[in-house]
Homo-oligomer: A and B are copies of this chain.
Amino acid sequence: MDHFPLYRQLASHYRQAIEAGTLRAGERMPSVRTLMERHDVSLSTALQTCRYLESQGIVEARPRSGYFVCHKPRSALARVAEPGIALPDTAQYVGINEKVSAILVQAMNAKVQTNLGVACGAPELYPNEPLRQAAVRALRQSPEIYGRAVPRNGYPGLRAVLAKRAMHASMNLSADDIVITHGCTEALNLAIRAVAQPGDIIAVESPTFYGVLQILESLGMRALEIPTSPQTGISLEALELAARTYNNIKAVVVVPHLQNPLGAIMPESHKDRLVTWCEANRIALIEDDTYALLTDDDTPLPALKSRDHTGNVIHCASLHKTVAPGMRVGWMSAGKWRGRVEMLKYAHSRPNESLSQQVAASFLGSGAFDRHLRRLRTHLYTQRQQVAQAIDGYFPAGTRLTVPAGGFGLWVELPDQRDSQAVFESALEQGIRVAPGIMFSNSSRFASFLRISCGTPYNSELDQAVRKLARIVDGARRLPDLPAQV
């Protein structure tokens, strides 16, 4: 936490208070003097705090009367409810692929005008020009880049920069600990294959990123879905209960920061407990930290891996969402499975090509990276608030909404068990793409949920789309009575 200036920490504190409703829209912020006294900070820090909150559109200055909270708490809609801890299903050989493929193919074949369906930003949110320039430079500096075989485990320069950056997330890694992969997807494949065999049980969040379920299904492993809170992530009680029921859980896959699709961020105490528990129970902990850098608050969050002292945590991440959606550069640090992961990577696809690794190394090693992240975060924050407010305004009463503190998406529960797959299909006919809840679980528990992404700058077309979507939701059929397990 001490990498970042005090005013940012204070601003984060007040933003949270506003979002929790402790300070409401229209209320006056504590005065600059109060801030100075209450937090024992200088005038300059107190002022910077207010100006930063203002720059983020959270408070507004009114002449001669100070700062006021300028928008209502995130949503007038109720939050999505917390899950129970009971395990609703037995561990399954998934069955997600057909469902997901059908949805992806439908979406691909449609004429999509408004894409609220993919967890990814619009091209203009990414540093196209610096990356392009870095590529041209690399091609000049390494004229034989295509004529030479690529180095095993990845381009050394990128591994070194990543090891350095890992310190921000409180991890202590050397370049040798890092293997470059084709996105986080390949890293997750290798991690899961390193620790488990076909037939084994892997605990995952529920709902979870569908990619994990696809991987498990394709490997003939069983997914055990663990109830997961939209606020605090995977339920540790439920996980502990699961381990008492199944004595052969080989690994847990967790997205600790901005979980997909919920947007949950695990509290530090949960991280601690999870790492310790996994170790004690000899269950490998696979951390998918794809979204860590996209929290609104740019104070870096410590990775689960930072608490790992025995090599039991495999850390996986990617530049695909944060630096460039056109880049397939991921990385992993596999702890005690490092040798096995290196071998598996070699057998899986051989090392990655050099060029985009050189581009990534040069960009990540420059000041432009942090500047880009600040800009991206601010955009995503604004876009998320705007879409959330539109949902708030247009969606039928009874809709529930989780607005995460970062990332691309909102998690929406439709009122009265409306069928979100029907909504997906009707919306697609009108050129609007969303992600129906059934993609994120092997059960039908989320059949009335939507993930709505906010990667595109808000404008009147987007506003129109949300309005249309609201009408579609309103008219959508209800789900048939669900099986008792749900």
Segment of A32-40, A75-83, A124-132, A246-254 engaged in the interface with chain B? A124-132
Task: Determine if A118 and B328 form an interchain contact, defined as CB atoms under 8 angstroms apart.
Answer: no
Task: Determine if B325 and A148 form an interchain contact, defined as CB atoms under 8 angstroms apart.
Answer: yes
Q: Select A123's contact among B144, B197, B353, beta carbons within 8 Å.
A: B144
Segment of A54-62, A160-168, A344-352 engaged in the interface with chain B? A344-352
Task: Determine if B189 and A326 form an interchain contact, defined as CB atoms under 8 angstroms apart.
Answer: no
Label chain A's interface by main secondary structure.
Answer: helix
Task: Determine if A135 and B139 form an interchain contact, defined as CB atoms under 8 angstroms apart.
Answer: yes
Task: Determine if B349 and A185 form an interchain contact, defined as CB atoms under 8 angstroms apart.
Answer: yes
Bound: A186/B104 CA distance, A: 22
Task: Determine if A186 and B349 form an interchain contact, defined as CB atoms under 8 angstroms apart.
Answer: yes
Bound: A152/B108 CA distance, A: 9
Distance to closest chain B CB from A187 (angstroms):
10
The count of identical subunits is 2
Bound: A328/B127 CA distance, A: 25
Size bracket of the A interface: 35 or more
Distance to closest chain B CB from A112 (angstroms):
13
The answer to whether A232 has its CB under 8 Å from any CB of chain B is no
Known: A135-B135, A143-B132, A326-B354. A349 touches B149 (CB 8 A): no
Known: A144-B123, A150-B326. A356 touches B353 (CB 8 A): yes
The answer to whether A300 has its CB under 8 Å from any CB of chain B is no
Question: When each residue 204-233 of chain A gets 1 if its CB lies under 8 Å from chain B and 0 otherwise, what string results?
Answer: 000000010011011010000000000000
Interface residues of A (CB under 8 A from B): 97, 101, 104, 108, 118, 120, 123-129, 131-132, 135-136, 139, 143-150, 152, 181-183, 185-186, 189, 193, 197-198, 211, 214-215, 217-218, 220, 323-328, 339, 342-344, 346-356, 359
